[in-house]
Chain A
Amino acid sequence: MKNAGKESPTGFYRIAYFIKAVQEKSLSEINERIRDGSARVVTAEEMPDIVEELGPAGAVREVDVVTTGTFGAMCSSGVFLNLGHSDPPIKISRALLNRVEAYGGVAAVDLFLGATQPSEDRGMEYGGAHVMEDLISGKQIDVEAFGAGSDCYPQMELETSLRLEDFNQAIMVNPRNAYQRYNAASNSSDRTMHTYMGTLLPRLGNIHYSGAGLLNPISNDPNFDYIGIGTRIFLAGAPGFVMGSGTQHNPENNFSTLMVTGDMKKMSSRFLRAATFHKYGPSLYLGIGIPIPVLNERLAKSTAVRDRDISVPIVDYGVARRDRPALKMVSYEDLKSGVIDLYGKEVSASSLSSFLMAREVASALKEQVEKGEFLLSAAVEPLHRLGSSRPMKQTKESPNVVDVMSRDVVSVGEDIEVEEAAKLIVSGHFDHLPVVSREGKLMGIITTWDISKAVAGGKPSRIGDIMTRRVYSARADEPIELAARTFETHSISAMPVVDRENKVIGMITSNHLSSLLARRR
């Protein structure tokens, strides 16, 4: 039987052999075709129609490689930079690159520059991502380095100016990139929010989403039949590799991520763009693409994914908690239509990632594979197909508003006279009086200032005429950090605390928060 492999199959086996031969291909066969320029390559945008027309088996025969692409904000990115040794040598503990701090706690002259680190002089308008873009664009950056000084590293401080080519290595290592899909965002609160999901207008005024939908790399191989440790990828125009599953990798809920690496010296500023989200900070827009071989019908099916097959929740960023409520499930097809129906209202939806650039990544990759410049690689190990992302374990409990608020609150109805309110304030030593309806629900607030103003104006008036109706309040069961943030955002010093029915049950003031902090110290 030692020549069995060379004998031609007969009878039933011949049929089985034939079916197997047309429905499966090996990676080396595909690479052979890429090398000789005969590989049939399509983008993930073209694949669904091909599979629909030819069926999965026909698509395996017809298509060798499907190229994917995504281009969007990938905050969890950074680069290891090796500066080479100075004379006299320095062991850098703190470094500033164009006044952006890079982590110096790795050996003497290795730094890690994170994309979202804001600069010390320009704040969030310039950050780690901008330093990376400047380096790739050929610009020179200013380096300030500080060390403690030791017998082997006597130098304690130095300044220099460097270009990308002056670094020994500039190796991008991104802990979490290329999310499989991402929650869309809206905002039910009554103020405009500035988030990493862009500007979110009040009262569900708009929807922002991110992700390339049918072009997304992981969405085309959600079972990781091909993508694994060592898979060769397109990373911002340079050859890159998958190092493994990314942080917060959550395959059980279809929120998988990748950890990737690549040589920044070979990257293109076309596919690496620094960004700033207003009042959030710097971030990095990256183009990432993965070519997926159509090895079998299962991969033909998974690369035929359409926008309508990928759904995400629209979550409410108006709720400043980790578990933001989902308002609605929608598909990328719905999102890309530009209008979503939310509670009977047509809400405008737009993306933060660029589908145009995702397409450009997939097309650039297609061209590279067609020209034989990009070969596919077998994974060293598969990525984790199980696991989810757990919330933080918080061992030190932080108090809620109910734990620090004052229950000694006097509220008044709209109909009382200013004079009466003034007497209540004086006798109770309050600065604020919540105004409530007959059912005890919060309607407005009166401060000593409002009363002084009314008295100075000389006209007798009812509380209802002079109260502030746009009143901020805290929920009894929310963490005090949220109340502190409300004080800061709106420059106020006190607010009523309400229960779930908007009934006033207490007051919280900035004094409560500061005395709490004083007790902790």
Chain B
Amino acid sequence: MDLTQNPGVAGMRAIKTALFVLCTLPFLGMVMAAFEIAGLSLGANPVEALIHEAGLWGLRLLLLTLAVTPLRRMSGWNWLIRLRRMLGLFAFFYVFVHFLSYAVIDQRLALGPIVEDIIERPFITIGITAFLLLLPLAMTSTNAMMRRLGCRWQQLHRLIYPIAILGVWHFWWQVKEDIREPLIYAAILAFLLGFRLWTRQRRRVAPAVQVRSDSAAGLERAMGELRASPAPRQ
């Protein structure tokens, strides 16, 4: 099977269905653990475990979303781009579950303590900022919004870069002393962002090969998605 080829409508539907199921599994695990089904458990401090678990999956999916473009460039599997929206929306979903676990289950919607947390605790300020920035991205993820926003859509969705940085930073600042885990996330993010800088740099060095501007290429990519056909290889 040649993965550089367009998998076709049926193939794409199968891939998307599989990815959808895969992305819901962590949530299913959390729900099962919350109700102690099948030997799963959230442990002695279930509230903290739920918050951490949802947050980690939000971060993982955010990184996966950011991995689509580099993977596509390196492999030539252009159809990967058509999975990006689902990954991004699942990232938002898990970050939303993370936020709800904190605001509803942990703080019981007590406005005073929540506002105090947001104002006084830098890691929560950062986290809530990332969450708020994610909202417009989730809301403008439909085809209709992509069409309406045109090339401003691409500009808006570049917010994903600061969001991912804030997300990893939020994780880093909340651990006590053992930074091994956030370090792994930071390294992956650094690679994913570094890849983009590097390809941009290369394009600048060799303008004869790459003449199109970023936004033109982005628009084309977006159009490619709309047409449900592979975007041109670059």
**A, B: real partners:** no
